[in-house]
Amino acid sequence: MNGTTQNCSRVEEITVYTFVIHVCLIGSLCTLGLIGNTLSLIVFFRYKARSVTFYLLRPVAIADNVLLLMTIAMMVLPAVYPALGVMELPNREEARITTWAWPLGMTAQTVSIWSLILVALDRYMSVCKPFKAESFRNLKGARIGISVVIIFSVLYNAPRLLEMRPEEMIDACTNTTRYYLENVLLAFPAYRIGYFIVSYTVINIIIPLFVLSYMNVHLIRELRKSRKARCRLRFMSPSLQKEDDLMTKLSILIVIVFIACQAPSLLTQILNVSEDYLDDQTLLFRQYYVPFSNALVVLNSSLNFVIYCVFCSGFRRALIGMFLHKSLEQSNCDSNKYSSVVEETNV
């Protein structure tokens, strides 16, 4: 009896913590991120330009929004009822929601990460390989690249549809019937280690971090070494050189933010698949650590709009012009400059 009381007391403590992280923190980040990414998309689509980088930024924002919506469905809404006693349905149906929201969210994350790599590759070719860039950097190539990323992401994450299935259980603390997730594919050690940990770590963490870091280092080096030559090759006006330096700093910041936000998710994956072998203290640590790690991933999908506003003066002008209801003709100068600025962005 005392053991049951102690366990239920710990459940209440974790419920409060989960509410603070999932609802207050992650919920706020998702809301702000959805608003920011949507505004970014409006700017991207309204001020059209023949810019490959400009075009490649669109799927990043779309995928981030899908990821944020799935996060709300899986984490934010189910955490409201245990703490406040309202919105019971998302909590009761959490397991069922997760079976489809989890694969969709992970697919969106893969699309976002690899679209980011396409943007970095576009910038790398433009700055570091200017003589070869024209044969690769065009809207047709960008559409093909995005299509490959989407197809790959869907196929790669398709097995997640079969990882778990919802099953009924009796909650000992509330004496009510609930659904929980029973492992299906995750019950096989080879799948858990080979796909869930190793492939996720390689495809969504290690390769993106290496590629983004490599291209950013070479981009920065090239910018410092041959700024004048690159300006002549790309017809950059002297007035944009200051903006060019800001974009270099922006590329560094994007990589730092990506590393800081995505790296902790590796430990989350290890803790998740090792759940059956963890002692009580480690399991307790996992219950506190995983929500924190999830918050960092959400932060990474919510922050691009802020970075655009802080570091891209052209984006700010286009955004302000949109809210002031300027016509495209009136804002054409800002749009053209923003397109040039986006060309300098290594996000």
If 0-12 CB within 10 Å is exposed, 13-18 middle and 19+ buried, where does residue 343 land? buried
What is the spatial distance between Cα 331 and Cα 148, in angstroms, rounded to a whole number? 34
Q: Which of 39, 63, 35 is nearest to 297 (CA)?
A: 63
Domain boundaries, the chain: 2-343
Q: Which of 248, 247, 256 is nearest to 209 (CA)?
A: 256
Q: What is the dihedral of CA 130, 131, 132, 134, to 10 degrees?
A: 80
Q: What is the pTM of this model?
A: 0.80
The percent of residues in the chain predicted with pLDDT above 90, rounded, is: 22
Rg (C-alpha) for the chain, rounded Å, is 23
Checking phi first, is residue 87 left (phi over 0); if not, alpha (psi -120 to 50) or beta? left
Provide the residue count of the chain: 347
What is the spatial distance between Cα 91 and Cα 97, in angstroms, rounded to a whole number? 9
Q: Could you tell me if 66 and 17 are in contact, meaning their C-beta atoms sit under 8 angstroms apart?
A: no
Strands of 126-283, DSSP E:
164-171, 176-183
Confidence at residue 132, expressed as pLDDT on a 0 to 100 scale: 67
Q: Which two tokens stand for residue 41?
A: 């998309």
The more confidently predicted of residues 197 and 204 is: 204
Q: What is the pLDDT of residues 238-252, one digit of tens each?
A: 555 555 556 656 666
Residue 255's pLDDT band, with cuts at 50, 70 and 90, is: confident
Mean per-residue pLDDT, 116-139: 76
The CATH homologous superfamily for domain 2-343 is: Rhodopsin 7-helix transmembrane proteins (1.20.1070.10)
Q: Which two tokens stand for residue 127?
A: 């700055």
Q: What is the pLDDT of residues 135-179, one digit of tens each?
A: 667 788 888 999 999 999 999 999 999 888 877 666 666 666 666
What is the spatial distance between Cα 48 and Cα 247, in angstroms, rounded to a whole number? 20
